[in-house]
Structure 1
Amino acid sequence: MASRALSVSGLLSLKRTTRDTAFAVLTTRPPSGSVGDGANLIWGRQLRPSLLHLDRSPSLSFPLPPLAPAKRDHLLLLRPIRATAEGSDSAGEAKVGFVEKYPALVTGFFFFMWYFLNVIFNILNKKIYNYFPYPYFVSVIHLFVGVVYCLVSWTVGLPKRAPIDSNLLKLLIPVALCHALGHVTSNVSFAAVAVSFTHTIKALEPFFNASASQFILGQPIPLTLWLSLAPVVLGVAMASLTELSFNWTGFISAMISNISFTYRSIYSKKAMVDMDSTNVYAYISIIALIVCIPPAIIIEGPQLMQHGFSDAIAKVGLTKFISDLFWVGMFYHLYNQLATNTLERVAPLTHAVGNVLKRVFVIGFSILVFGNKISTQTGIGTSIAIAGVALYSYIKAKIEEEKRQLKGA
Structure 2
Amino acid sequence: MLTLNLLPSTNVTLSKSRPNYPVSPSPFQPNLGSRNQKLRTLSFTKPLIQNGHPFRSSANQDSQISGPRLDFSRILRHPSGVSSRNTTQILEAASGTPEEVSPDGEIEVSKPKVNMKLVLIFGLWYFQNIVFNIFNKKVLNIFPYPWLLASFQLFCGAVWMLILWSSKLQPCPKINKSFIIALLGPALFHTIGHISACVSFSKVAVSFTHVIKSAEPVFTVVFSSFLGDTYPLTVWLSILPIVFGCSLAAVTEVSFNFGGLSGAMISNVGFVLRNIFSKRSLQNFKEVDGLNLYGWITIISFIYLFPVAVFVEGSQWVAGYHKALGTIGNPNTFYLWVLISGIFYHLYNQSSYQALDDISPLTFSVGNTMKRVVVIVATVLVFRNPVRPLNALGSAIAIFGTFLYSQATVKKPKKEAVEKKD
TM-score (norm 1): 0.73
Match of 1:191 among 174, 197, 202: 202
Call closer, same or farther: CA 1:350–1:102 in 2, change over 3 Å: closer
- Report the equivalent of 1:363: 376
Give structure 2 stretches of 5+ with no counterpart.
1-110
Letter in structure 2 aligned against 1:385? A
SS at match of 1:344: helix
Q: Distance in 1 between matches of 2:143 and 2:355?
A: 32
- Contact 2:325 2:331 (C-alpha < 8 Å) held by counterparts: yes
Match of 1:311 among 323, 328, 331: 323
Give structure 1 stretches of 5+ with no counterpart.
1-99
Q: Deviations over 1:82-101 (max 9, x none)?
A: xxxxxxxxxxxxxxxxxx77
Matched, 1:165 2:176: yes
Q: Which moved more, 1:329-338 or 1:348-357?
A: 348-357
- Contact 2:138 2:337 (C-alpha < 8 Å) held by counterparts: no
Letter in structure 1 aligned against 2:314? G
How far 1:102 sits from its partner (Å)? 7.8
What does 1:283-322 correspond to in 2, within 5 Å? 283-305=296-318, 307-316=319-328, 317-322=330-335
Call closer, same or farther: CA 1:329–1:407 in 2, change over 3 Å: farther
Q: Distance in 1 between matches of 2:180 and 2:408?
A: 35
Matched, 1:242 2:252: yes
What does 1:324-335 correspond to in 2, within 5 Å? 324-335=337-348
SS at match of 1:208: helix
Matched, 1:114 2:114: no
Q: Distance in 2 between matches of 1:327 and 1:403?
A: 44
Q: Distance in 2 between matches of 1:405 and 1:288?
A: 39
- Report the equivalent of 1:261: 271
- Contact 2:200 2:260 (C-alpha < 8 Å) held by counterparts: yes
Letter in structure 2 aligned against 1:374? V
Larger Rg: 1
- Report the equivalent of 2:161: 150
What does 1:7-86 correspond to in 2, within 5 Å? none
Q: Which moved more, 1:180-189 or 1:322-331?
A: 322-331
How far 1:314 sits from its partner (Å)? 2.3
- Report the equivalent of 2:225: 214
Q: Distance in 2 between matches of 1:278 and 1:107?
A: 16
Q: Deviations over 1:330-371 (max 9, x none)?
A: 100010000010122111221111111011011111111111
Letter in structure 2 aligned against 1:312? A
Letter in structure 2 aligned against 1:300? E
- Report the equivalent of 2:20: none
Q: Deviations over 1:27-78 (max 9, x none)?
A: xxxxxxxxxxxxxxxxxxxxxxxxxxxxxxxxxxxxxxxxxxxxxxxxxxxx
How far 1:105 sits from its partner (Å)? 2.0
How far 1:208 sits from its partner (Å)? 0.2
Q: Distance in 1 between matches of 2:264 and 2:202?
A: 11
How far 1:315 sits from its partner (Å)? 2.5
Letter in structure 2 aligned against 1:255? M
Match of 1:127 among 117, 134, 138: 138
Letter in structure 1 aligned against 2:371? K
SS at match of 2:170: coil
How far 1:388 sits from its partner (Å)? 0.6
SS at match of 2:230: coil
Give the CA RMSD over aligned residues.
Answer: 1.6
- Report the equivalent of 2:213: 202
- Contact 1:213 1:221 (C-alpha < 8 Å) held by counterparts: no
How far 1:406 sits from its partner (Å)? 4.1
Call closer, same or farther: CA 1:128–1:341 in 2, change over 3 Å: same
Q: Distance in 2 between matches of 1:244 and 1:332?
A: 27
Matched, 1:339 2:349: no
- Report the equivalent of 2:288: 275
Letter in structure 2 aligned against 1:121? F
Q: Distance in 1 between matches of 2:213 and 2:148?
A: 22
Letter in structure 1 aligned against 2:154? L
Provide the identity percentage: 40
- Report the equivalent of 1:380: 393
How far 1:303 sits from its partner (Å)? 0.7
Q: Distance in 2 between matches of 1:256 and 1:158?
A: 35
The answer to which structure, 1 or 2, has the higher relative contact order (CA under 8 A, 6+ apart) is 1
Q: Deviations over 1:237-274 (max 9, x none)?
A: 01111101001100011111111111101111012213
Q: Distance in 2 between matches of 1:375 and 1:176?
A: 38
How far 1:207 sits from its partner (Å)? 0.3
Call closer, same or farther: CA 1:111–1:404 in 2, change over 3 Å: farther
